[in-house]
Amino acid sequence: MITTSSKLFFFSSFLALCFMLYPIEATSRLPDTEVEALKQIKKTLGWDLKNIDPCSKGGIISNPVRSTSEIINVSCDCSIAHDNFCHIIAINLTRNYLSGTIPREWGTMNLTKIALVANGLSGEIPKELANITTLKTLSLEFNNFYGNLSVLGSLPHLEILHLTSNNFTGELPETFSNLITLKELRLGDNQFSGKIPNFIQKWTGLENLVIQGSGFTGPIPSEISYLLNLEDLRISDLNGPESKFPPLDNMTNLGVLILRSCNINDTIPKYLGNFKNLKTLDLSYNKLGGEIPKFLTSLSSIKYIYLTGNILTGQVPADWTAPIDLSYNNFSNSPETVTCQMSNMNLFASFAKGNNTGPLSCGQSKEKCPKYYYSFHINCGGDSSVQKGRITYESDSYKGVPFKKSTVESSNWAISTTGGDFMDNVHQYDLIQENETKLAIVDDVDLYTKARGSPISLTYYGFCLANGNYTVNLHFAEIVFINGTTYSSLGRRVFDVYIQVSI
């Protein structure tokens, strides 16, 4: 029997043994001793397998552990003759509850793929991984890894490198300039420092580059213009000085372009009109000025455009067809001439103050306040009102149709949810999250049953409020990350709360 404390040791030891096997022919399989070892691993990790030998049926064992989203795959290759046994070439242990570090023994194996996505793994990447010259895919996203990444620059055939959502710090090591075979690189949600390095010009084979919320300082280097094969470019939250729009003129293969909160002080470049494959354009929260260029309407493939939180001026186009988020800009239209509930356009707080103030951009004005209020209370995401003593928390059941704002007409507050989808999230239009945990709350459970999310930003406005001092109370409960021993228990919740006054 394997005890809890010995699980990781046994698991690592098994892999060290298993990967030393060499394949001989398609009919070969693992020796009985290794089959027994797999059975013990099966029992420890809860695998539900009828055939425990990965080399005797299709060269793969694959199981959904406790749900269809949890994956444990071990792949083998029996096509190269060296010994009497097959050879394990890839492991995929994604969305589980594994802890510990990456075993150094893996450095002696001829792996082509390591995928450890969404676990509780930590520690530094062992230097022995540099010995795996056959490695093409290394996916370590959504763990707690940290330390020096220079070892990865010694992997000559690496094509896919995913490092999103870990604790990596420091500047991107110079050795990364050696990764000239890269096709996908994801660095988002880390704590890097310094600038995006100029040596990115050597990654000419890149098709996907994601540097969102990574800690880097801008501006985006001009050398990015060398990456002509990019189909998906996402950069966000760059610190540092203001800059001009990066030279992306020749990246006509782009299908997704996200440059969000990159401190770009410029106008929208005309060359974007040549991007005929562009489906998503997100330039939100920069300092883009001028009018909305008409050529954007000619992008036949476009699905979503986000220009939220800029300083765009001029007239809002009346004949716009593509879904577009224009909230928080500075247009000169009179609010009465534009409908804020257009099915394809979010115009929340998007007009100059000479026309309206803050949330009153939907045909309302201060003079139209029927009366003044001294409070408002919201059951965020809740589909029903909740009474607590003398306070009524009003329902917030707007389902979140993209590019529209919601207003509770019977009271004095409104909500703006910006962004149309969560990109890689399969529940891309589900802006209401329902409780999946066992809440240890005796009273007022109905206030914590549901919550609202938003792809870009979520704003609650109180208007028609009388002048005075106000106390703001925010109540939170974790309803998504569950308590247990699955990957659904792993994660970190980070968000910012701003309270602003609009006069």
* pLDDT of the residue at 307: 94
Over residues 32-55, the mean pLDDT reads: 54
* pLDDT of the residue at 135: 95
- Please give the residue that has the higher pLDDT: either 361 or 327: 327
Q: Specify the 3-state DSSP secondary structure of 446.
A: helix
- Please give the residue that has the higher pLDDT: either 38 or 448: 448
Q: Tens of pLDDT along 466-481?
A: 888 899 998 888 887 7
- Please give the residue that has the higher pLDDT: either 422 or 270: 270
* pLDDT of the residue at 368: 64
Looking at the chain, how many residues does it have? 503
The string of DSSP codes covering 121-187 is EEEPPPGGGGG-TT--EEE--SSEE-S--GGGGG-TT--EEE--SS--EEPPPGGGGG-TT-SEEE-
Give the confidence band of 51 by pLDDT, cuts at 50, 70, 90. Answer: low
pLDDT at 237 over 70: yes
* pLDDT of the residue at 90: 72
pLDDT at 369 over 70: yes
> How many Cβ atoms are within 10 Å of 151's Cβ, its own excluded?
19
C-alpha 268/C-alpha 97 separation (Å) is: 45
* pLDDT of the residue at 451: 86
Residue with tokens 């990019």: 230
Give the confidence band of 27 by pLDDT, cuts at 50, 70, 90. Answer: very low
Q: Tens of pLDDT along 242-256?
A: 999 999 999 999 999
User: From its phi and psi, is residue 273 left (phi > 0), alpha (psi between -120 and 50) or beta?
Assistant: alpha
C-alpha 357/C-alpha 442 separation (Å) is: 41
* pLDDT of the residue at 68: 45
Over residues 303-310, the mean pLDDT reads: 91
C-alpha 91/C-alpha 307 separation (Å) is: 41
Mean per-residue pLDDT over the chain, rounded:
78
Residue with tokens 């909305």: 292
pLDDT at 137 over 70: yes
pLDDT at 337 over 70: no
C-alpha 88/C-alpha 119 separation (Å) is: 22
